[in-house]
Structure 1
């Protein structure tokens, strides 16, 4: 199939009145994420796997103003673009989204949350560059899944652990370290990027969104706990 943004491809991939269609849903989600301060200044992004098709928000656009016609569509098996808008660039996050999809995710969200950035700096300052973000005995931890291949969510007394990787000059260069972190910590549904943000995924859009919201709440609370001298773990 030709790689272009032609009308024939629009009809096939992005024209739908269903608000849950990936092309529509990515626009809705990114507008909400903008309101949360997660995708300001064209940063961040969202991708959804729909069968063998991957829908990806473009790079360098104002995420709160996106339209379905802005979406890139990729074949999951061949990694070839089925729809490629000529006025936009493919997302630099694409290799990282693919890393999550290749491990069973149905949706991956990337944010530039200030709270996510701050906890990476606090972990580095108070522990080391090799340390995880760890916290326990918070009710919101129940919003996070137990891990790949496991049913249910974490409990109040479980410890939440999220790996942290170092940032790079170019986003696509993060893939190797992100994949290494996923393999080392297979129960994690997220990877923090120091001084950058976070990647969060889930089996479907609902789970990815729920986990991203829960984690951001936890990160904000963790920053406030540090201000008060309260420990994250026993």
Structure 2
């Protein structure tokens, strides 16, 4: 297992260590938007960062718990049940989805189809208790998975607080999972590699999955994971002798 080198500092507080709940502590965690509109807004934000290029990536949010109901992005926003199967219901806030805001048609009489990764979103929500999941195709996460195929362990970083972990003395392992085009297989692999105290996983030659209590918390965690992956790869390229 590869372990990233340490960096020190203590200028901010620690977030909740739970991988499935807790927030970043920001005052702007209540968007006031309907779930469908909030998903569309977050997807647009990630697209502007270049993290959802070529229609890659997808986001989901829980909108009901008894039974479980999940909205997930696709060409439109699609509602799923807890097994990742479309419910056929019209999601709330649908008028603000990317296709609608662009003035394009949605899906006519055809059933809306969820993202191919919908089954993995549903699995992560059931496994972790998260209320939101984001899947992104970022360069640093893919490079890190290549460089650290057995998993990336980081410690003594201020940025780890964004994952709900301590900035000192708290090794944090980001698991790396072999990719598969069969989403059921990939879901099993991610479940097997799940680190309960780490709200993220890297998929080799694919991207990252990050989860949390709401889309804002997940956004901050995704930003932290990308930063940490980029830092680890750049440091490894410098052939620094890492503390073990």
Pick the TM interval, shorter chain.
Answer: 0.7 to 0.9
CA distance in 1 between partners of 2:232 and 2:156 (Å): 12
Compute the TM-score of the two structures, normalised by the length of structure 2: 0.72
Change (3 A) 1:154 1:99: farther
Q: Distance in 1 between matches of 2:180 and 2:83?
A: 27
Q: CA deviation at 1:89?
A: 2.7
Compute the displacement of 1:107 (Å).
Answer: 0.3
Change (3 A) 1:157 1:121: same
Shift in Å, 1:226: 1.5
> Which of 107, 113, 121 is 2:138 aligned to?
113
Contact residue 134 and residue 232 of structure 1 kept, 8 A = no
Question: Aligned pair 1:212/2:222, yes or no?
Answer: yes
What is the aligned partner in structure 2 of residue 50 from structure 1?
Answer: 63
Alignment match, 1:141: 160
Kindly indicate whether the alpha-carbon contact (under 8 Å) linking 2:141 and 2:207 is maintained by their aligned counterparts in 1.
yes
Shift of 1:203: 1.9
Cα displacement (A) at 1:90: 1.7
Q: Which residue of 2 aligns with 1:74?
A: 80
| Cα deviations by residue, 1:132-177 (Å, 9 ceiling, x for unpaired) | 11112221111112xxxxxxx3333321201111011334431111
Contact 1:142 1:156 (8 Å CA) reproduced: no
What's the offset of the Cα at 1:37?
1.6
RMSD of the TM alignment (CA)? 2.2
2:199 aligned partner? 189
The answer for the alignment partner of 1:83 in structure 2 is: 89
Taking a change above 3 Å as real, the CA distance of residues 105 and 231 of structure 1, as seen in their structure-2 partners, is farther
Alignment partners' CA distance in 2, 1:213 and 1:121: 19
Q: Choose from 202, 210, 214 the match for 1:200.
A: 210
Does 2:167 match 1:155?
yes
Q: TM-score, normalised by structure 1?
A: 0.75
The answer (yes or no) to whether the contact 1:134–1:233 under 8 Å persists in 2 is no
| Residue of structure 1 aligned with 2:129, choices 75, 95, 104 | 104
Please list the CA deviations of residues 175-234 of structure 1 after superposition, one character each: whole Å capped at 9, or x if unmatched: 11111112xx22221111111111110122222111111111111111211122235653
- Paired residue for 2:148, among 119, 123, 132? 123
Aligned: 1:221 with 2:231: yes
- Please state how far the C-alpha of 1:19 moved relative to its aligned partner: 4.8
Higher helix share: 1
Secondary structure (helix, strand or coil) at the match of 2:148 reads helix
Report how many residues are paired. 192
Cα deviations across residues 82-129 of structure 1 (Å, max 9, x unaligned)? 3375275321111110111113110000011110000011113xxxxx
Query: Which gives a bigger RCO, structure 1 or 2 (Cα 8 Å, sep 6+)?
Result: 2
Residue 27 of structure 1 is aligned with which of 12, 31, 40? 40
SS at match of 1:109: strand
